[in-house]
């Protein structure tokens, strides 16, 4: 499934952007690996893939169904880290008209740390999620499917660059820690 539907504002904004032509799933897997490597390089600690584990029915969990994405090995113990990524998207609902990022399937009881990766046309922004920032629940379904974490720009703000600054500010004001920006644009003269 592709989330860049031709003719949409999001599609036009991401035209030619690195990773834009990948499926949501493919891009998500790449972004998880990038965030994991970023964590290892910036924290100075070793990281390891999560163990497969088993489902409640006893079956082995697949790579896309793990309780968390990787483990950071610190001197005082292991930190189970979950990575959720979201592409900046234009919400064209008549009452909204805003840029937003939405992370779904967040199950806070299955990891120690949640890292949010915001995919924009020119960069990947990485945050460590704090407390209940941007969290919404859906009653009993939440236990099975997890929570959603959503942040939006000011309604009516059309410039995605301005919207990213607004969203970053909102994310940080809600208690999330900005830990990195990785450029997705080749330096001039290098393609």
Q: Residue 171 domain-assigned?
A: yes
Residues in the chain where the model's pLDDT stays below 70: 1-7, 52-66, 94, 132-144, 189-191
Q: Residue 190 domain-assigned?
A: no
- What are the φ and ψ backbone dihedral angles of 3, each rounded to 5 degrees? -100, 5
CA-CA distance, 68 to 58, in Å (whole number)? 18
Q: Residue 66 domain-assigned?
A: yes
First vs last C-alpha separation in the chain: 28
Q: Residue 139 domain-assigned?
A: yes
Range of the domain at 154: 9-183
CA-CA distance, 98 to 160, in Å (whole number)? 9
Count of CB atoms situated within 10 Å of the CB of 180: 18
Give the per-residue pLDDT at 134. Answer: 59
Q: Residue 96 domain-assigned?
A: yes
Q: Residue 38 domain-assigned?
A: yes
pTM of the model: 0.86
33: CB partners within 8 A, 6+ apart = none
Give the per-residue pLDDT at 2. Answer: 40
Q: Residue 188 domain-assigned?
A: no
User: How many structural domains compose the chain?
Assistant: 1
CA-CA distance, 183 to 146, in Å (whole number)? 30
Q: Residue 31 domain-assigned?
A: yes
């Amino acid at each position: 499934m592709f989330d860049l539907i031709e003719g949409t504002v999001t599609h036009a904004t991401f035209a030619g952007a690195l990773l834009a032509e990948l499926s949501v799933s493919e891009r998500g897997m790449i972004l998880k690996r990038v965030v994991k490597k970023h964590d290892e390089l910036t924290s100075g600690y070793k990281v390891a893939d999560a163990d497969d584990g088993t489902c409640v029915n006893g079956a082995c969990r697949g790579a896309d169904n793990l309780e968390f994405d990787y483990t950071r090995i610190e001197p005082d113990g292991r930190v189970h880290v979950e990575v959720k990524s979201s592409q900046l998207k234009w919400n064209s609902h008549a009452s909204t008209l805003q840029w937003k990022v939405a992370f779904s399937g967040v199950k806070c009881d299955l990891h120690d740390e949640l890292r949010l990766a915001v995919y924009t046309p020119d960069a990947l922004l990485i945050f460590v999620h704090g407390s209940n920032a941007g969290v919404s629940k859906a009653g009993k379904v939440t236990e099975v499917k997890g929570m959603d974490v959503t942040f939006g720009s000011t309604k009516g703000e059309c410039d995605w660059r301005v919207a990213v600054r607004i969203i970053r500010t909102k994310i940080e004001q809600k208690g999330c820690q900005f830990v990195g920006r990785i450029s997705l644009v080749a330096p001039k003269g290098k393609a």
